[in-house]
Amino acid sequence: MLRAIRFGGRHAWWLLAAVFAAMALTTRLLSAAADARWERDVARMVFNDNLELLRRLRADAGQATDSLQRLMSGAPESPGARPYLVVSVAERRLWYKLGDSVLFGTQVATGSGKTLVKEGGGSHWKFETPRGRLVVVSKDSMPAWVPPDWHFVEQARKRGLGLVRLHRGQSLRAPDGSEVTVQGSDVVRRYPDGRTVALRASDGREIVVGGNLLVPPFGTNQRRYPEVLGTRRLNLGDGYALHGTNRPETIGQAVSHGCVRLRNEDVEWLYEHVPVGTPVYIY
């Protein structure tokens, strides 16, 4: 090959470059195949709670990726004789297990996987159900939903409205001459004659002022929606939860903003039988 390079000039250099490109492509394909095998084995490990497989994978991978390290640090030991929850995002099903025995199983709704660009662009929200090992950190009865900012952005775009944030101490002038402001724990409308009326807000029925959808401050009643999360909630941390719903027709679909949604009767069963501290494996 060196002789060809010496006497073949430009064509020999092109040949050498092609050889190196082929070697790089082969390396990439082998790496992709290894990653695919890795994801398959991790899913199997999470579903079966197979710690022997976890140890083997740790040795094979050498803790090469951050996601692997997070998963392993989150599952240092087996539940042993304790029951645990398993959620399949792909199948949209949940099981409550003890060893290999299934104590309870049902359909769920999971994250849609959709994205929503934030105000001003440049970044976005991703509505996915997190995978890995989580834990039931607390439980609520009749929880109220405090919608995050993305809810108001999403609703405003669906309806073709502008978006305006209301801060405490601020007033917004409405077309009818009234003012919208915060009084105590309520967003109120104050009329020119002095009357003050607390406004109502719920999912899909947000406050609109002069063509703009209003984002109420945290801590106001207008930023607390009852019934949206159903009758019970098992919190998993970082804003994620297993909870009920006021829309049972969505169960079995990928429609949530990241939480695992259940029928109210199912989440009520879990609320009664699943203690705080129970591991939750999502794959």
Q: Residue 249 belongs to a domain with what CATH number? A: 2.40.440.10
Are residues 208 and 253 both part of a single domain?
Answer: no
Asked if residue 192 belongs to a domain, the reply is yes
**What whole-number distance in Å separates Cα of residue 203 and Cα of residue 214?**
13
Which of 45, 60, 75 is a domain's end point? 60
**Tens-digit pLDDT profile for residues 38-77:** 444 434 433 333 434 344 434 444 443 343 234 334 555 5
Do 133 and 233 belong to one domain?
A: yes
Residue 74 inside a domain? The answer is no
Does 155 have pLDDT greater than 50? yes
Least confident of 111-115, 118-122, 216-220, 238-242: 118-122
**pTM for the whole structure:** 0.69
Contact 178, 189 (CB under 8 A): yes
State CA 79 to chain mean position distance: 24
**Residue 38 backbone zone (phi > 0: left; psi -120 to 50: alpha; other: beta):** alpha
**Other CB atoms within 10 A of residue 30 CB:** 10
My answer on whether 270 and 237 are in the same domain is: yes
Closest residue by Cα to residue 261 from 224, 225, 229: 229
DSSP H or E stretch at residue 21: helix 10-48
Q: Are 157 and 259 in a shared domain? A: no
Task: Tell me the residue range of the domain where 219 lies.
Answer: 153-223
Distance between CA atoms of 215 and 76, rounded to whole angstroms? 42
Round to whole Å and give the CA distance between 56 and 46: 14
Res. 87: pLDDT tops 60: yes
- Rounded to whole angstroms, how far apart are CA atoms 244 and 232? 6
The band of 23, judged by pLDDT with boundaries at 50, 70 and 90, is low
Please check whether residue 94 is in contact with residue 243, taking contact to mean a CB–CB distance below 8 angstroms: no
Residue 242 φ/ψ, nearest 5 degrees: -100, 120
Mean pLDDT of the chain: 82
Residue 172 sits in the same domain as residue 32: no
Predicted pLDDT of residue 95: 98
Is 272 in the same domain as 242?
yes
103 shares a domain with 243: yes
